[in-house]
Amino acid sequence: MKNSYMEQMYREAGISPQVYAYGEAVWNSLKSRWEEIDAISEYNQMKVIKAMQKNRVSEACLMGTTGYGYNDLGRETLERVYADVFHTEDALVRPQITCGTHALALALMSNLRPGDELLSPVGKPYDTLEEVIGIRPSRGSLAEYGIAYRQVDLLADGGFDYENIKKAINEKTRLVTIQRSRGYQTRPTLSVLRIGELISFIKKIKPEIICMVDNCYGEFTEVTEPSDAGADLVVGSLIKNPGGGLAPIGGYLAGKKECIENAACRLTSPGLGREVGASLSALSAFYQGLFLAPSVTANALKSAVFAANIYEDLGFPVAPDGKESRHDIIQAVTFGKPEGVIAFCEGIQQAAPVDGYVTPEPWDMPGYDSPVIMAAGAFVSGSSIELSADGPIKPPYAVYFQGGLTWQHGKFGILKTLQKLVEKGIIVKDFDRRNL
């Protein structure tokens, strides 16, 4: 296809010739990065297929159950598949887990007891966990059940403060929570290697500590997972990476058998545990979504790398930068003013196949301490493996971009954000004169 036809198509979609040419120059400079991402995707694709074949996934596994959900072949097989993909003893994968925060709360509340202490050695957790823990008072928090919390902030360079981590671990420390992704921060995302180093350090001090990793946004971005590096529990959402854009709801926990059994009894009821919980009609999407997840995650990574290079080249602080290795699908761009965050989100929304005509606005969302703007014209509501962006309207006024079921959609979305920022005068750039 001639470039003129493609340029015309983008022009009809609202992208000016100057913005299109700029984007093409950046995209074409990244071919070697695409090869690296595709190699990781291929490895993880084979890992998923191997797990499905080993556990004899059949058409009967896709049917689902109703009522109590006893003897749900598809549910039980899927949990064995997840355990094999993550190389763990067991897994819990359920539509009854409503979101990533719920999955994390379930893991914490089922494996901590009154008098225990929870430690975060990587600084402040994601905003919605503050009320789960009780950092911000909330009904039913861990604090209300007599579970204490302690945190050790990262060093200024993003490194672990090993000296103070050692001091923080005491006889009451029962569980350590490690957030892999950056959340609404600009600190580095943690690689599996770095997570493994931290877990090893903690286990040498107190071997019986449960090390839990919030794996949201990180699955399939590397050839290994935190469970391969010593994590006792890895936790995530199915409407992020592992659901492949098809899972309509759900979350997972994978890890030590005792930890998973504790979670199952908390999710349903003591005495019932994992034996109940109908899968209804969700299983087909769960299986097919997991099958597609390595490829979909690769598309989201390509979109994130493209965004980093676009905005870094324009002089905006980005994290990770355009050349760094990737350990999650999130790309942070700091604009320094709310207008930049809002314009970026408007561009993402205008690129959406669903609700593309809607204008996102900041609002006071439950679980957050400031207004948040979210852009996501998604087939699954709130799915952040689909093209989406969000950010709190507070300093440093950074937007967090993620997702893209196809790289073509991710590319279009980023060009749309750039077009919106140019139209609003937030970016003033003569793209014709740029030395491409």
Q: Are strands 233-237 and 210-214 parallel, antiparallel or unpaired?
A: parallel
pLDDT of residue 365: 78
Q: Per residue, what are the HEC states of 222-277? A: CCCCHHHHCCCEEEEECCCHHHCCCCCCCEEEEECHHHHHHHHHHHCCCCCHHHCC
Tell which CATH architecture fits domain 3-43+291-433: Alpha-Beta Complex (3.90)
Read off the pTM. Answer: 0.95
Beta-carbon contacts of residue 228 (< 8 Å; ≥ 6 apart): 86, 87, 192, 196
Question: Could you tell me the two tokens for 148?
Answer: 């204490």
d(CA 387, CA 185): 20
How far, CA to CA in Å, does 127 sit from each of 133, 212, 253? 10, 17, 20
- For residues 218 and 402, the answer to whether their CB atoms sit within 8 Å is no
Measured N-to-C along each axis, helices 283-313 and 31-54 cross at an angle, to the nearest 10 degrees, of 160
Question: Could you tell me the two tokens for 277?
Answer: 């919980």
pLDDT of residue 2: 53
Beta-carbon contacts of residue 167 (< 8 Å; ≥ 6 apart): none
d(CA 428, CA 421): 9
**pLDDT tens-digit readout, 276-299:** 999 999 999 999 999 999 999 999
pLDDT of residue 436: 34
Q: Where in the sequence of the chain do the CATH 3.90.1150.60 domains occur?
A: 3-43+291-433
**In the chain, pLDDT over 90 holds for what percent of residues?**
92
Question: Could you tell me the two tokens for 423?
Answer: 């139209």
Fold classified for 67-279: Aspartate Aminotransferase; domain 2 (3.40.640)
Q: Where in the sequence of the chain do the CATH 3.40.640.10 domains occur?
A: 67-279
d(CA 363, CA 286): 31
Asked whether the CA dihedral 189, 195, 198, 202 is positive or negative, the reply is positive
Across 115-148, b (16+ Cβ under 10 Å) vs e yields ebbbbbbbbbbbbbbbbbbbbeeeeebbbeeebb
- For residues 411 and 306, the answer to whether their CB atoms sit within 8 Å is yes
- For residues 217 and 240, the answer to whether their CB atoms sit within 8 Å is yes
DSSP annotation string for 106-143: HHHHHH--TT-EEEETTSS--HHHHHHHTSS--TT-TG
Question: Could you tell me the two tokens for 400?
Answer: 């967090």
How far, CA to CA in Å, does 427 sit from each of 27, 327, 342, 385, 417? 19, 29, 13, 27, 11
d(CA 342, CA 59): 45
Beta-carbon contacts of residue 7 (< 8 Å; ≥ 6 apart): 17, 20, 21
Beta-carbon contacts of residue 382 (< 8 Å; ≥ 6 apart): 99, 239, 376
Low-confidence ranges of the chain (pLDDT < 70): 1-2, 367, 429-436
